[in-house]
Amino acid sequence: MHDTPLILIFVKVPIKGQVKSRLAVCIGEEATVALYKNFIHDIVGTVEKSTYPLKICFYPADKRVAVASLLGSGYDLMPQQSGDLGTKMEHAFRQTFVDGFTSVLLIGSDIPDIPASIFREALDSLKNNDVVIGPAADGGYYLIGFNNDSFLPQVFYGIPWGTDMVFRMTMGILDSASLRIHLVASWWDVDTFDDLVSLFHRNKDTVFSRSKTMTYLLKTRLCE
């Protein structure tokens, strides 16, 4: 068993036409791929600063070399299973619990400006709670974590992924199971051009202003 919790980051391999389709409609596929690469670098960098073990869970499953090329050597990589998002997340939790981790936090790669303090709070909360979840402003969630002995795979069944009902339905399942739930702060996924503009303007005077994402946005003037 591993005494230290694990953070899992779900990423898609940055391939034109396969990432951030709603954003690509507005800024083009090449800019979208370049931007998403910066998202990945920033979120990975933030998690690394939190000092917790990290595993990159990538899709498509046959693109391990591409992920290693993007991030460099030394990262623990795990392919996502085929199926919908719920199936992918369920499998990722099951596999990491089989690997011996007692607490696992899964996060997306659409939240490049999330601070490390949220990861620390989320994992600390699992010492006294069964599940932690981070609601997203669009009605989904950007973070979910369980202990091995409190894992509830039912939260991934029958959910209309990509809709504003995801968080509400997930909370209903968790409440019905009488689990001890900790909520961390709501945050913003970046899926649309409006989301991107919001990210840019709210971070002009924050630590994130020096990130790869913000540097790219300033250079390309996509949000001006």
Domain count, the chain: 1
Residue 221 has pLDDT above 70, yes or no: yes
Query: Is residue 93 scored above 70 in pLDDT?
Result: yes
Q: pLDDT (tens digit, 9 = 90+) per residue, 23-33?
A: 999 999 999 99
Q: Domain for residue 43, yes or no?
A: yes
Q: Residue 121's pLDDT is what?
A: 96
d(CA 24, CA 30): 8
User: Is the separation of the CB atoms in 30 and 14 below 8 Å?
Assistant: no
Average predicted confidence (pLDDT) for the chain: 95
Domain that holds residue 196: 6-218
| pLDDT value of residue 51 | 82
Q: Is the pLDDT confidence value at 133 over 90? A: yes
Does 124 map to a domain? yes
In a domain, 193, yes or no: yes
Strand partners, 7: 54, 105
What is the spatial distance between Cα 66 and Cα 75, in angstroms, rounded to a whole number? 13
Mapped onto helix, strand or coil, the DSSP state of residue 221 is coil
Mean pLDDT, to the nearest integer, of 185-198? 96
Question: Is residue 82 assigned to a domain?
Answer: yes
Residue 122 in domain: yes
- Predicted confidence at residue 1, as pLDDT, reads 58
d(CA 88, CA 26): 28
Domain assignment of residue 223, yes or no: no
205: domain CATH number is 3.90.550.10
Mean pLDDT score, 56-69: 96
Residue 1 domain flag: no
Residue 186: inside a domain, yes or no? Answer: yes
